[in-house]
Amino acid sequence: MKSIIKTPATRAIYQHYINGTFYGSVPSGDYIEVLDPCTEEIIASVPRGGQEEADAAVDAAVAAQRHWSSLPSVERAKYLKAMANTIRENRVMLAETLAREQAKVKALAQVEIDVTAEYYDYYAGFARAYEGEIIQSDRVGEQIFLHKLPIGVVVGICPWNFPFFVMARKVAPSMLTGNTIVVKVSEEAPLTCLEFTKLLGSVNLPKGVLNVVCGYGNEVGEALTHNKNVGMISLTGSVDSGHKVMAAAAKNITKVSLELGGKAPAIVCEDADMEVAVNSIVASRIIYSGQVCNCAERVYVEEGVYDAFLEKLTTAMKAVKVGNASNDSGIDMSAQINQKQLDKISGMVDRAQAAGAKIATGGKKSTSFDKGYFYEPTVITNVKQDAEIMQKEVFGPVLPVMKVKDFDEALKLANDSEYGLTSAVYTRDINKMLRATKELNFGEVYFNRENFEAIQGFHAGWRKSGIGGADGKHGLEEYLQTKTIYIQQTS
């Protein structure tokens, strides 16, 4: 947890965005320090919200929702398009802010900003596309209609790893369908989202439609999830956070949509293209320094190609370029988000070694930097299926690799997990692809490519990886509820 200050020093100061205005005075109240993970320098202060801010934001959303939902969907879509244009006009500034606040390499930070703009445009395109139904009746002279209507007020709780994109993932479909929304940004990486609120003046968004609050999950987040006027809670976060949100939602029977952790398996078959497999798995593991829930967390390799694959994988991981996300160009990854995350990774690798695992490369905190939360790209071998490193999410640049006898064993071990978000298979055999398509118990299966979803798909976890999902037309449905209308003709 970041430290808290009463009187912020000279640095960037941010406020909540509630009911179309900036909320929370600078001289008073508790603030949270935001650090640059590469330098440990304090770069900004954000307000530490609580019950007062949560209630104010929800009240504003409630007050705005009736008028907002009465607008034609094409009118609501115009605001999403304006938000997309505003992002594009400020794309470099937003990417630089993102790179610095969370140690995301510049190229990936720019991708996140640009795809976020596309996301708003994409959902604006659904304005005339989502629809209800007419159902055949059993009665003479009766019509039955299914109307798709907004839920009301949505609370979106965003993570620190893709904060700006995931904010759009909740805001765009919510607003398009006539809901109003309160977004709780991560205290670890709130700045890009808050910079975006400063740009909303050019969009002329009606007051209360979008509200953004800062603070800790157990304070402002808890207050939001317990509010009786909230119709839906959408969380992207850890399994532990999912447990807390479900418990809070139970009080008011509030709908939840949860994208939680992952422990994605990658299966490498004997007939796989080794270059494709190695490059894709490395790319999938080091993207944002391994802090991505849908990317490869464990690798199963058929014994016939195990040695060759391991050699290529180790060489590729050794070649990964690590540096300061804000200052260094041409790097592949940067620092972890904070000291807690660095210590978690280090502890898991140390415990794996103590249990008999071998380090092929990496395996420790980086000594190449005087400051910052850097961990070396790591490959681990001689691991067992029931080991912590194979069962629990590392969320860092660490790849445990296990030899398997054949594809049957690989499928069995891949499914042996409490998670069910994504998976990957590397093979040229169409029969193996078809088997994996049916037998892998994960919301997504990638063949011969890195784990990275499309905005028109459906990103949804099974088991402890989540409930509901996001993206595409099915993601839009998350933000709608159904009303059935029966109209009987009378004489």
Catalytic machinery residues? 259, 293
8 Å CB contact between 80 and 121: yes
Torsion of CA 21, 229, 458, 465, to 10 degrees: 110
Concatenate the DSSP letters of all residues of 355-377 into one string.
Answer: TT-EEEE--SB-SS-SSS--B--
How far apart (Å, rounded) are the C-alpha atoms in residues 386 and 405? 17
Strand partners, 211: 182
**Edge-first strand listing for the sheet containing 210-213:** 21-23, 16-18, 210-213, 180-184, 153-157, 232-236, 255-259, 466-467
Strand partners, 425: 267, 447
How far apart (Å, rounded) are the C-alpha atoms in residues 366 and 373? 8
Amino acid at 296: A
Strand partners, 190: none
Residue 449 DSSP SS3:
coil
Strands 466-467 and 255-259, bridge-based pairing: antiparallel
The encoded tokens of residue 101 equal: 């606040």
Strand partners, 485: 145
